[in-house]
Amino acid sequence: MVAFQAAQAVSAAPGKRFNPVFLHGGVGLGKTHLVNAMAHELLQRRARMQIACLSAESFMNVLITSLRQDQMNAFRDRFRQIDALILDDVQFLAGKERTQEEFFHTFNALHGKERQIVLTSGLMNCIVS
């Protein structure tokens, strides 16, 4: 119930009351469904809002591709200029130093501009490696 209420508050006023939002819990409890619904509601309320809603694995794959193609400026522009970042299964960033570093800078850039950040994790103590 608390997670649902936080999702409603984020949808009503992104970047304000609950920022960042961190949802954690076991597999199958609905974290991914909740953040997808949150993204849809944000777009419903603000059609021009730029939202990146993806898994941590996808974030890492985009980063790796950008590194290999020498396109890091494009990567940074893509993720640091959005209105909301919704990153699912953030526990998969554990042990991946370069990805964690880029995520840290992206997080700081977005948070500094009061852009909404939502993270989910299946584990509570996995983020620090």
Per-residue pLDDT of the chain (129 residues; tens, 9 = 90+): 788 888 888 888 888 888 999 998 877 777 898 899 999 999 999 888 999 999 999 999 999 999 999 999 999 999 999 999 999 999 999 999 999 999 999 999 999 999 999 999 986 554 444
Please name each of the domains of the chain with its CATH number: 2-121 (3.40.50.300)
pLDDT score at 124: 55
pLDDT score at 128: 46
- Helix (H) or strand (E) run with residue 76 in it: helix 72-80
Residue 55 to residues 12, 19, 85, 121, Cα–Cα distance (Å): 23, 19, 11, 10
- Beta pairing partners, 117: 85
pTM of this structure: 0.88
* Complete edge-to-edge strand list for the sheet that includes strand 51-55: 21-24, 116-121, 84-88, 51-55
Residue 35 burial by Cβ neighbours in a 10 Å radius (0-12, 13-18, 19+)? buried
